[in-house]
């Protein structure tokens, strides 16, 4: 099911950050909302005054992240990703750093009343009813944000619960802001390989093994993608295109999901698109991959699926840069293979994973635009070049594509 975004407004961001993270700002008008597919991200500038955080003298930029109600239920993986961000940062990979709340937790689960409810009392903490040991803040003060939850299927009759984080904001450019070329794509592949090596190391720590990880129901996790495509593909009006994505989903479900059991597992990023990659570009236009954003889709899976997601998005975006979809994919894979090589079986799986992610982006974008958030043009971004990328993949024999990738 397509997920509705949290009903938190721009005006409610600073009061939330203040009450939950002791955030203070001299200018309450300087708040902007950043683009996001399913969550709400607000850019704030100020200081954290809580004794749980490092002392600050200057104002700093932060992102207040309000996670959608479905993701908010994934207690284990959300707690895990906070540890991952700190782990990566300690090892020189630039990423947002989670800030402790007034209680010292990196994530707060916050209960909001729906529109029309009477509100009284103060902001209090209690042990949660989502999962034992989870802190749940019950937000019921007179000046608490009121959430319009009419479109939300994941809340009870009276309230809705969102997970909330405050993260450092990393200024600068993203991969989507620079011109794609062979060098940039190669460096991106190298960066993914290095990221996966560190995530594999993290995956082998006792901390991870002791962490409760609930079964994934995230529609964007590749193992769940076929069912998601089949459920939502009626939003694709063109009969031939709808049939194509259905066939891609069914082929992956029937032929390739069973093959995944033969592959090793580890923590993966889960959403390696051009909007989640931090880059630096010097005066000579040379690009360096600096880090990664948005680990909200991280989970235990197979690294080849993560590479497939990255390759899918690079093929889609390469068309906007007058670059061949195969030149882009070949360079990403060449870079990755130089660091953390994939096997021939993994390459077979990856081609189908690429087709699957492109198909799902097209299907969910169309469905969400039509039924969940009409008028949100961001949801149609993939459609601008995604169908062309998919068509070009099918114009070339699959075995030839895999052979080229293995030769990289």
Task: Return the C-alpha torsion angle 186, 188, 190, 191, nearest 10.
Answer: 170
The stretch 300-325 carries a mean pLDDT of 96
Rounded-to-integer distance, Cα 161 and Cα 67, Å:
9
Q: What is the pLDDT of residues 331-383, one digit of tens each?
A: 999 999 999 999 999 999 999 999 999 999 999 999 999 998 888 887 888 88
> Is 208 a residue whose pLDDT tops 70?
no
144 confidence band (pLDDT: 50, 70, 90): very low
DSSP class of residue 23 equals E
**Top-confidence residue, 341 or 159:** 341
Rg of the chain's alpha carbons, rounded to an integer? Answer: 21
The structure tokens listed for 215 are: 């079964």
Torsion region of 228: left, alpha or beta (phi above 0 gives left; psi -120 to 50 gives alpha): alpha
Mean pLDDT of the chain: 84
Rounded-to-integer distance, Cα 181 and Cα 344, Å:
26
> Is 67 a residue whose pLDDT tops 50?
yes
Return the minimum-mean-pLDDT range out of 187-201, 237-251, 369-383: 369-383
The stretch 16-38 carries a mean pLDDT of 84
The sign of the dihedral angle between the CA atoms of 237, 241, 244, 250 is: negative
The stretch 249-256 carries a mean pLDDT of 97
The string of DSSP letters for 330-351 reads: HHHHHHHHTTSPPPHHHHHHHH
DSSP class of residue 46 equals E
DSSP class of residue 224 equals G
80 confidence band (pLDDT: 50, 70, 90): confident
pLDDT of residue 249: 98
> Is 145 a residue whose pLDDT tops 50?
no
pLDDT of residue 203: 86
Whether 136 contacts 117, CB under 8 Å: no
Whether 4 contacts 68, CB under 8 Å: yes
> Is 242 a residue whose pLDDT tops 90?
yes
Q: What does the longest C-alpha to C-alpha distance in the chain come to?
A: 66
Rounded-to-integer distance, Cα 290 and Cα 170, Å:
10
- State phi, psi for 39 to the nearest 5 degrees: -110, -175
Q: What is the pLDDT of residues 88-108, one digit of tens each?
A: 999 999 999 999 998 888 998
> Is 132 a residue whose pLDDT tops 90?
no
pLDDT of residue 122: 33
The string of DSSP letters for 244-311 reads: HHHHHHHHIIIIITGGGGGS--EEE-S---GGGEEEEE-TT--EEEEEE---TT-EEE-HHHHHHHHH
153 confidence band (pLDDT: 50, 70, 90): very low
**Top-confidence residue, 111 or 311:** 311
Whether 20 contacts 66, CB under 8 Å: no
pLDDT of residue 300: 87
By C-alpha distance, which of 268, 264, 159, 262 is closest to 213? Answer: 268
> Is 198 a residue whose pLDDT tops 70?
yes
* CB burial of residue 49 (10 Å; 0-12, 13-18, 19+): middle
121 confidence band (pLDDT: 50, 70, 90): very low
207 confidence band (pLDDT: 50, 70, 90): low
Rounded-to-integer distance, Cα 233 and Cα 248, Å:
12
> What 3-state class would DSSP assign to 159?
strand
Q: What pTM value is reported for the model?
A: 0.84
The stretch 264-277 carries a mean pLDDT of 93
């Amino acid at each position: 099911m397509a997920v509705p975004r949290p009903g938190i407004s721009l005006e409610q961001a600073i009061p939330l950050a203040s009450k939950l993270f002791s955030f203070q700002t001299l200018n309450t008008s300087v708040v902007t909302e950043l683009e996001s597919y399913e969550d709400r991200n607000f850019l704030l500038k100020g200081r954290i005054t809580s004794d749980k955080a490092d002392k600050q003298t200057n104002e700093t930029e932060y992102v207040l992240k309000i996670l959608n109600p479905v993701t908010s239920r994934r207690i284990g993986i959300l707690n895990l990703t906070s540890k991952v961000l700190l782990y990566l940062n300690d090892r020189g990979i630039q990423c947002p750093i989670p800030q402790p709340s007034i209680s010292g937790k990196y994530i707060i689960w916050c209960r909001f009343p729906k529109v029309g409810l009477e509100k009284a009392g103060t902001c209090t903490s209690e042990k949660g009813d989502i999962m034992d040991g989870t802190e749940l803040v019950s937000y019921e003060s007179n000046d608490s944000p009121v959430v319009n939850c009419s479109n939300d299927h994941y809340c009870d009759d009276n309230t809705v619960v969102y997970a909330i984080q405050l993260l450092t904001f990393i200024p600068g450019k993203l991969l989507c802001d620079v011109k794609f070329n062979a060098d940039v794509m190669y460096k991106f592949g190298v960066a993914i390989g290095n990221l996966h090596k560190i995530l594999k190391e993290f995956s082998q720590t006792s901390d991870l093994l002791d962490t409760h990880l609930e079964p994934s129901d995230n529609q964007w996790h590749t193992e769940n993608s076929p069912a998601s495509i089949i459920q939502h593909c009626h939003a694709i009006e063109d009969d031939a295109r709808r049939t194509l994505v259905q066939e891609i989903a069914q082929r992956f479900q029937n032929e390739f999901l069973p093959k995944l059991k033969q592959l090793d597992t580890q923590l993966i990023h889960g959403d390696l698109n051009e909007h989640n990659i931090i880059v630096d570009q010097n005066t000579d236009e040379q690009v360096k991959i600096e880090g990664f954003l948005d680990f909200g889709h991280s989970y235990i899976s197979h690294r080849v699926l993560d590479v497939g997601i990255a390759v899918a998005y690079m093929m889609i975006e390469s068309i906007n840069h007058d670059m061949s979809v195969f030149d882009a994919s070949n360079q990403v894979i060449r870079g990755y293979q130089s660091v953390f090589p994939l096997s021939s079986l993994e390459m077979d799986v990856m081609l189908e994973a690429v087709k699957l992610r492109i198909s799902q982006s097209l299907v969910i974008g169309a469905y969400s635009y039509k039924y969940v958030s009409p008028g949100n043009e961001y949801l149609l971004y993939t459609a601008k070049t995604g169908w062309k990328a998919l068509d070009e993949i099918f114009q070339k024999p699959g075995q030839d594509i895999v052979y080229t990738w293995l030769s990289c």
